[in-house]
Amino acid sequence: MTTLIEKLERSAIFEIKLDNRIVYMSADCTNYMNDTRYVVIVETNKFLKLWQNEPNPLSKNLNFGNKEIWKMDKKFADAEKGFSFGKSNPVPLANMVCYINKNNKLPYIAINDGITRIIWLLSNGVEYFPIECKNINEAQLLIKSAGYKNSDICSIEELLNCN
């Protein structure tokens, strides 16, 4: 289960249930764009389908991968270490975009920052997890296409009242 468990002054901490443990991720207030950065909870299978729809992926073997392929990624151990620090030092949310492919009219996502975090979560059995989008239109498309049941989008500003 992914749950917002704590709101600190400048951070929201999410608890994420994996096959055999709990890990933590965070969304933080920054000095810019807090009102246009959105948190979306995505369901893993729907997320993977959107990632596989990406027309020009940087690394096809990852979006069509499995646990064995993901664990061979050169930065996989870095993610393992990053997630090991727990609630006291949560891992930042991955950042992505969500668009409609002009050729086949299917939605897709492209990960801007956080591929290794995503494949680490996937290889550890996550069912759903929070991500960050940089605008409302993409967040709305993502929640419609891969959102976890009964979840909604929320800007960082709305979530944390960044001032």
How many domains are there within the chain? Answer: 1
- Reported in sequence order, the residue ranges of the chain that DSSP labels E, i.e. its strands, are 2-7, 11-17, 22-28, 38-43, 91-92, 95-100, 107-113, 128-133, 154-155
Q: What is the pLDDT of residues 98-132, one digit of tens each?
A: 999 999 999 999 999 999 999 999 999 999 999 99
Q: With beta carbons less than 8 A apart as the criterion, state whether 108 and 98 touch.
A: yes
Q: What is the pLDDT of residues 5-25, one digit of tens each?
A: 666 678 999 999 998 899 999
**pLDDT reported for residue 1:** 43
Instruction: Show the domain range for 117.
Output: 2-160
**pLDDT reported for residue 150:** 84
Q: For residue 125, give both structure tokens.
A: 């059995």
Provide the terminal-to-terminal Cα distance of the chain, rounded to the nearest Å: 30
- Residue 3 pLDDT greater than 70, yes or no: no
